[in-house]
Amino acid sequence: MEFQFRINYKNKSDEELMVLINKGKEKAFNEIYERYSKKLFLFFYQKLYRDNNKAQDFLQDLFLKLIEKAKLFDYNKSFSSWIYCIAYNMCKNEYRNNATRKDKTINLNVEELKNDDTSSIIINNEDDFLLFKKSLNNELGKLNEKHSVTFTLRHQDNMSIKEISEIMACSEGTVKSRLFYATKKLSVKLKKFSSIKI
């Protein structure tokens, strides 16, 4: 009699799950979907003009691409960077197809921004927080796509400089430069918040 060991997918790393997906294990795909679908839906929703239907369509397309391109995944690299790279490229193609970018607003994790050494923005209370968030979204919509996406990958998706450089196919120095530029520009535009004390 042969014993079959039950695989505990929840304990597997993303990269290990990709190995199993390549072997046709549906539960491995379900686990990856469970881990990333909400985050990636939010990514698409924020980058694609807050259009719920478009974000859902892009999310489904992304996971179809994951299945189709699973064999192309390099197991020595981070799965998170790889999947965000595909998502970012899908958005870039959409921007090209839509010459006119409508109300692109981005909802950031402002706590991360407050703790970042490069930021001079200080938030006081809930009202200030909401006003700041609205103003920040508005100003981010005015930045070019590369600066805006770099900034949000860092502060919302908590990506490292290295991960962002892989996603955006540029050097780490370029990522730092874009972050510096975006933060400086936003600090100037939102300087009224710098006088508010925690």
What is the 3-class SS of the chain, one letter each residue?
CCCCCCCCHHHCCHHHHHHHHHCCCHHHHHHHHHHHHHHHHHHHHHHCCCCHHHHHHHHHHHHHHHHHCHHHCCCCCCHHHHHHHHHHHHHHHHHHHCCCCCCCCCCCCHHHHHHCCCCCCCCCCHHHHHHHHHHHHHHHCCCCHHHHHHHHHHHCCCCCHHHHHHHCCCCHHHHHHHHHHHHHHHHHHCHHHHHCCC
Residue with tokens 């799965």: 79
**Taking the alpha carbons of 18, 19, 25, 28 in that order, is the dihedral positive or negative?**
negative
- How confident is the model at residue 113, as a pLDDT? 53
Provide CB contacts within 8 A for 23, sequence distance 6+. none
For residues 104 and 156, give the distance between their C-alpha atoms in angstroms, rounded to a whole number. 15
pLDDT reported for residue 136: 79
pTM for this prediction = 0.68
* pLDDT tens per residue across all 198 residues of the chain: 444 568 899 999 999 999 999 999 999 999 999 999 999 998 898 888 788 999 999 999 999 999 988 899 998 889 999 999 999 999 988 888 875 444 444 455 555 555 554 444 455 566 666 777 778 777 877 888 889 889 888 887 888 999 999 999 999 999 999 999 988 888 888 777 664 433
Task: Tell me the domains of the chain and their CATH numbers.
Answer: 12-97 (1.10.1740.10), 110-195 (1.10.10.10)
Residue 155 is predicted with a pLDDT of 84
pLDDT given at position 86: 93
pLDDT tens for 121-179 read 455 566 666 777 778 777 877 888 889 889 888 887 888 999 999 999 999 999 999 99
